[in-house]
Copies of this chain bind each other. A is one copy, B any other.
């Protein structure tokens, strides 16, 4: 059987196999659920911020939102607590193979990460290059350093490789980003001992 575009077809099935059909958000939700169940950390994705304009109240339980709009997020998507420390991060995917385009992240979110660092929190980004099927962890400080110093509109994958960490996908937890946090911030202990 022939397809109009063999390359695309091949790529699609390969990614589906490796990812088991999950996108980055699914992987992180599954990972956070694992951390929760195993009593390792409490980390949640925040609800999508919206402005509610119209609600129909049939009864208190049956309220239906009939008109609402998506708001630009002023913070990141994920936060929580690990070993008493405040954890805050943003997760992004790009179909680009060589660069992470900065237009993929809101300025407010970068400023938020900067503020979190100022207040002693642990802040980072998880960036997936979907076509390469590679997911990286990069500390917010390193990421912000590039944004502040560079005049470029995108972060090269090489910068991310040099300054970040490859997150190997596993069955469970899917993306064990707390292992990296252990290595950076809690060298003396491991969450397995928790």
Q: In the complex, which of the residues B68, B70, B82, B120 contacts A83, with contact meaning CB atoms closer than 8 Å?
A: B120
**A37 nearest CB across to chain B (Å):** 11
Minimum CB–CB distance from A90 to chain B (whole Å) comes to 14
A64 in contact (CB, < 8 A)? yes
CA distance A63 to B50 in the complex (A): 11
Q: How many copies does the complex hold?
A: 2
Given A52-B48, A68-B68, the answer on whether A39 and B118 have CB atoms closer than 8 Å is yes
Instruction: Tell me whether B86 and A81 are in contact (CB under 8 A).
Output: yes
Q: How many residues of A contact B (CB 8 A)?
A: 39
**Which A residues are within 8 Å of any B CB, using their own CB?**
36, 39, 41-42, 44, 46-50, 52, 63-71, 74-75, 79-88, 112, 115-116, 118-121
Q: List 12 A-B contacts (CB under 8 A).
A: A42-B112, A42-B115, A47-B49, A47-B71, A64-B68, A64-B69, A65-B69, A79-B80, A81-B119, A84-B86, A84-B121, A85-B85
